[in-house]
Amino acid sequence: MLEIGIETFRGVVFPCHCDVMGHMSVQHQMPLLDNAVYHLLGEFGPPVMVENGRRLGWADVKCEIRYVQELVAGDLLILRSGILAVGSSSIRHRTVLSRRSDAAVCTIMEGVTVRFDLDRRRSTALSDEARAIAARLRAPEVPGEQYEKAVPPA
């Protein structure tokens, strides 16, 4: 895997994370992916901040996950995240979960998160500063062969 994006999480698969089929259960991957996105958003500042008298946070509005390779107890995990695109009030991001031992891409999550006015409970425009930060947080690339295997045929 190419070293693009920022490292947003490291972990290990414990036996209690595995299901009856012997691989890491989806229910235990989602919290890792969520934590990674929090670290990515942390590049923009605290998760809740006051800007021009408004309390701002983030809200996830879309998430797509592709499970590419199995993970088993003892696997060491590295997650890298970055920005794919910037909209008027949103960012589209990717997190890649890979196995440390062989750098295999195991899970790919792409999502859309909006800047959220916590008092008005609606999206709000990204600041110029947020856009500048997003510009330097390029998403991790996924090698073509592995990415194609992750996309089911139509």
Confidence of residue 1 (pLDDT cuts 50, 70, 90): very low
Per-residue buried b or exposed e for 97-129, using 16+ beta carbons within 10 Å of the residue's own CB: bbbeeeebbbbbbbbbbbbbbbeeeebbebeee
Report pLDDT for 111. Answer: 97
User: What is residue 41's three-state secondary structure?
Assistant: helix
Closest CA to 140 of 89, 115, 105, 112: 105
Work out the end-to-end distance of the chain between its first and last CA atoms, rounded to an integer number of angstroms. 26
Type of residue at 90 = S
Structure tokens at 66: 């592709």
Report pLDDT for 109. Answer: 97
Average pLDDT, the chain: 91
DSSP 20: T
Q: How many percent of the chain have pLDDT more than 90?
A: 84
If one counts every other C-beta atom within 10 angstroms of the C-beta of residue 56, the result is 22
> Could you name the CATH architecture of 6-141?
Roll (3.10)
Do residues 94 and 108 touch, judged by C-beta distance below 8 A?
yes
49-51 and 6-12: which strand pairing? unpaired
Report pLDDT for 106. Answer: 97
Degrees to nearest 5, angle at CA 62 with 57 and 66: 125
Confidence of residue 145 (pLDDT cuts 50, 70, 90): very low
User: How does pLDDT run across 65-114, given as a tens digit for each residue?
Assistant: 999 999 999 999 999 999 999 999 999 999 999 999 999 999 999 999 99
Confidence of residue 46 (pLDDT cuts 50, 70, 90): very high
Closest CA to 115 of 35, 60, 65: 60
Confidence of residue 140 (pLDDT cuts 50, 70, 90): confident
Mean pLDDT (whole number) for 34-41: 97
Q: Does 3 have pLDDT greater than 90? A: no
**Contact residues for 43 (Cβ-Cβ < 8 A; gap 6+):** 6, 133, 137
Domain chopping of the chain, boundaries: 6-141
